[in-house]
Amino acid sequence: MPTILFYVKVATKNALFVLTMLFVLFFTYNVYPSLQTAVNTFVSFYVFSMIGFHLFLITIATYVMQRNESDVLRYLERNPVKKQFQFLTASMIVSLAVALVPVTLMVLLTNELTSSAFLWKEIAHFVIIWLLSSLLAAVIGSSVSMLVKSKFAYVVSLVIYGLFVWMSFQLPTTPLHRYMNPFDNNMYLRPNHLSGVLWNVDYVFDKIFLLLIVVLLLSFVAFSVSVSSKGKWTGLVTFVVALVSLWLLPSFSPIAPVSSKADSTGADHVPYSIETYEMDVTLTNTLRNTATLTFHVTEPTEAVRLRLDDVFSIEEVEVNGEKVSFTHEDGILDLAVKRDVGEPLVVTVQYEGVVELIDSIGFSTYYVTKRAINLPGVYFDWYPTVESNDPIHFEVDVHSSAPLYSNLDSSEPGHWSGVATSVNVFAGQYESFHSDGVTFIIPTSVRPDAFIARFQSFVDETIKKGRFTERERSILEEKTYERVIVAIWPFQANEHLIEIVGDTMFVYYDE
């Protein structure tokens, strides 16, 4: 420990550290107002402060490791691998101390609507990003300088680090893209900036990826500079394991891309329609549902095809109380069931799945967590359904610890019912207010006045573009909608940013 504290002094008792701190403070001062939106908004703006601090770490790491050109230091600090580990520990201590600046502001100035539990989670998230990215920078600087024993090491370090910076500014279209960004992990749920999920499997993968890069660099250095055969073998084996793991990890990413809504079930016209729909839905970190569909058969049929997203695993299907075999692929649940006109047809589907879907540019779209839910049934087949615009009578029992919002009416706690073309469910830190006889349900991170102002203007613009049906245009112009709910869907699904389902309008709004 004393030698580690010595390296802390070496790292901080110089003009470069003073300049770095001035830059961090300057940048913090410029972006702290974003804390009024959400901590994660602040963190996304804080990236340049992180980069500035990392440039300091790379420079000081290169300098310290290259001091072994001095004979007395080469004699005293004769194990370069041990010295590197001690210096990296010192770097983490310095990093943690510098992080106190933004963390203090987070505690003091964050949006007062943030719950304290979530605030500390976000602070933990920021500290993890800060420390892990700082570790990466220090490892790059110290490792390169042990291999490139000249001033050229500074250039090589900056080029390698620059690769990560460049990747962080690209759209995260693949898991590799996401994992290569050390400044964020796109785990925040739009528009629930104040209740987004933080720790899930993909989050862990994201951090493991960066740690594997660190291990890769350290093991390569250990292999290169070790004089003992044991050290060389350890370095080599670790390097190979890290390399293979890095190559494989992105392919195991549990985050699924949003599949485009399944093509029609294969017929211009289906020989059955849904009369009633009962659901018993449990929403935790998974979605579990027992859906019972009562059909009216209008023509003889030898199959029933329903749309249900591939993210779900179907446990069993019953037709008229008897189990049947089925196939479920490409978003279509296929049942080989023969029915004549008028024969009873009741299909019960029991299924479950983890809903964490991202759009084509890597941002969260559909999700179900204990605290935040975005399930726009109008775009996402989260329950078995048919291609039809006919309204259906829904009776839905829903179990969730989060307060829920829907286009259906809640006749009693935990139960919704109503006639609609789709069931849409949302939860998060939402607030509800009334304006001109309309109930608005928007995330608490959104300012109501700003939302109302923007809402009215783009409704007006949307009407002018004239891409709605007559019925929808009538609803918009006559303002006969009763409810407005903020939701998120893939941008390409509906560029209007407005969707009308019965008496509910859904608005795509993300600050």
Partner 1 sequence: MTNRLSVEDVSFSYGRKEVLDRISFTAENGIVALLGNNGAGKTTLMNVLTGLKRPQAGRMTLNGSDVLGANTYPIEQVGYLPQHFDVYPNITGYDFLSFVYDLKKGTRADKKKQIDELVERFHLQSVIHKNVRHYSGGFKRRLGIAQAVLGYPPLIIIDEPTVGLDPEQRIEFRKHLSDMSRESITLISTHIIEDVELFSDQIIVLKDRSIVFDGSVDEIIGMSRSNIHVVETTRERLPELAERVTVIEEKRIDHDTIRVKYIGGEAVEASEFDKEITLENAYVYLQKR
Least distance to partner 1, CB of residue 76, Å: 5
256 belongs to the binding site for partner 1 (CB under 8 A): no
> Is 95 exposed, middle or buried (CB count within 10 Å of its CB: 0-12, 13-18, 19+)?
buried
Least distance to partner 1, CB of residue 2, Å: 4
199 belongs to the binding site for partner 1 (CB under 8 A): no
Among 29, 33, 78, 284, binds partner 1 (CB under 8 A): 78
6 belongs to the binding site for partner 1 (CB under 8 A): yes
Question: Which of 2-10, 193-201, 363-371, 416-424 is the region at the interface with partner 1 (rule: CB under 8 A)?
Answer: 2-10
3-state secondary structure of 399: strand
Which residues neighbour 389 within 8 Å (Cβ) at sequence distance 6 or greater?
421
323 belongs to the binding site for partner 1 (CB under 8 A): no
229 belongs to the binding site for partner 1 (CB under 8 A): no
Q: What is the DSSP string of 432-491?
A: EEEETTEEEEEETTS-HHHHHHHHHHHHHHHHHHT-S-HHHHHHHHHT---EEEEE---G
Least distance to partner 1, CB of residue 82, Å: 10
First CA to last CA distance, the chain: 46
Nearest CB to partner 1, comparing residues 19 and 163: 19
234 belongs to the binding site for partner 1 (CB under 8 A): no
Nearest CB to partner 1, comparing residues 70 and 401: 70
Question: Which of 5-13, 291-299, 320-328, 461-469 is the region at the interface with partner 1 (rule: CB under 8 A)?
Answer: 5-13
Sequence letter at residue 167: M
Dihedral angle over CA of 383, 387, 388, 389, nearest 10: 80
Least distance to partner 1, CB of residue 63, Å: 9
Least distance to partner 1, CB of residue 225, Å: 14
Residues 58-77 that bind partner 1 (CB under 8 A): 67, 70-77
117 belongs to the binding site for partner 1 (CB under 8 A): no
Residues 460-479 that bind partner 1 (CB under 8 A): none
Tokens of 494: 């509906």
Query: How far is the C-alpha of 287 from the C-alpha of 423, rounded, in Å?
Result: 14
Task: Give the gyration radius of the chain's Cα atoms.
Answer: 28
Quickly count: other Cβ atoms within 10 Å of residue 469's Cβ: 10
User: 33: which DSSP letter?
Assistant: G
Ordered strands of the 364-368 beta sheet? 256-257, 356-358, 364-368, 373-376, 424-427, 404-406
Least distance to partner 1, CB of residue 32, Å: 31
Nearest CB to partner 1, comparing residues 22 and 453: 22
Q: If binding means CB under 8 A, how many residues of this protein chain bind partner 1?
A: 19
Binding site for partner 1 (CB under 8 A): 2-3, 6, 9-10, 13-14, 67, 70-79, 227
